[in-house]
Amino acid sequence: MNTPNQPLPPIFDSLTMEAELEIPLEGKDFKTASGKFVKLAKHSGFCHGVKKAVDKTVNASTHNQPEDQPTYVLGQLIHNQQEIERLETLGILTVQTLEQVPDGANCVIRTHGAAPALITQAEARGIHVTDATCPDVRLVQNKAIELAKEGYTVVIVGKENHPEVIGISAFASEVAGATIVAINHPSQIAEKLASVPKRRIGVVSQTTQMEDTFFDMVKHLTMVAKELKVYNTICPATFFRQHAAADLAKQVQLMIVIGGKNSSNTTHLAALCNELGTPAIHIETAKELEGVVALQQAQIIGVTAGASTPEWLVQQVLDFLKTQ
């Protein structure tokens, strides 16, 4: 078992080239005005799936919609409020329900995916649908469907009310007779599985899940099921960001984690650093660092950002730190 406290396993070497393409800020460590040293995580900020979703949404708004009409996104495209607000200036509006999208309008499916029934309903109303579901999320959906078809009780390791988990469950639920359960912690296993078949259990993970949580869940499920089939569907971007944050946390006195407070992968990065004994400050914008005593006291500072944090927002934080 490999956790962020251990070296990267050799099997991930083939993923390194793809991950390196996501690091616009690596190698730009610097000293602040007062001589503090700021180090940047090797892997941080927008992952390939999020960047592709943002680009696809902007492109859809530019080419598929009349100039005077907005493009709608069903739920937050990504979990970063500042980027959502930037998109609003481009005429890209976030709505919570399909009823808020006018007939014939342009609608984007968020990175976390959406239930198949919603897409069918949209198309029936003449709504032009652009699917910006992350490829890694699509993989989880497909694996969950596969397990359901094979007759396994499908356990999704993740938050039951998270939009990604809701979408995964919706896809797998289309399989006749499927049983799908979302469990976010081993302590929930007994309650969540009390009334469902447990002999054959298939496991997938929310893409942004903590590695330790996922592996711990699998360990506990081996004591419940007679047959266990497991797909580790934590996405490579999450894997590399967790390891990079853990590695950097060991080298600094304070970690600054940039990203949405509602972003699972970002909150996991902050929690990971704290668990390793390095204080972490989770912020959305540079303004939250003003007057922070821990920042004033630290001489070696690490910076990382969640997979849904845009580069322009990270740069604003770095510019602030340069003045400290």
Amino acid at residue number 272: L
What DSSP designation does 60 have?
A: H
Q: Which of 140, 315, 168 is nearest to 233 (CA)?
A: 140
Q: Is the dihedral of CA 150, 156, 160, 162 positive or negative?
A: negative
Torsion over CA: 6, 10, 11, 16 (sign) = positive
- Catalytic residue selected from 164, 174, 191, 211: 164
Q: Amino acid identity, residue 244?
A: A
Residue 284 is among the residues annotated as catalytic for this protein: no
- Residue whose pair of structure tokens reads 């070696």 in the numeric block: 300
Closest CA to 182 of 173, 146, 174: 173
Taking the CA atoms of 186, 188, 190 and 194 in sequence, report the sign of the dihedral they define. Answer: negative
Sign of the Cα torsion 85, 87, 92, 96 reads: negative
Rounded Cα gap, residues 297 and 239, in angstroms:
31
Distance (Å, whole) CA 140 – CA 163: 13
Residues whose CB is less than 8 angstroms from the CB of residue 4 and which lie 6 or more positions away in sequence, other chains included: 211, 212, 242, 243, 245, 246, 272
Residues with catalytic function = 164
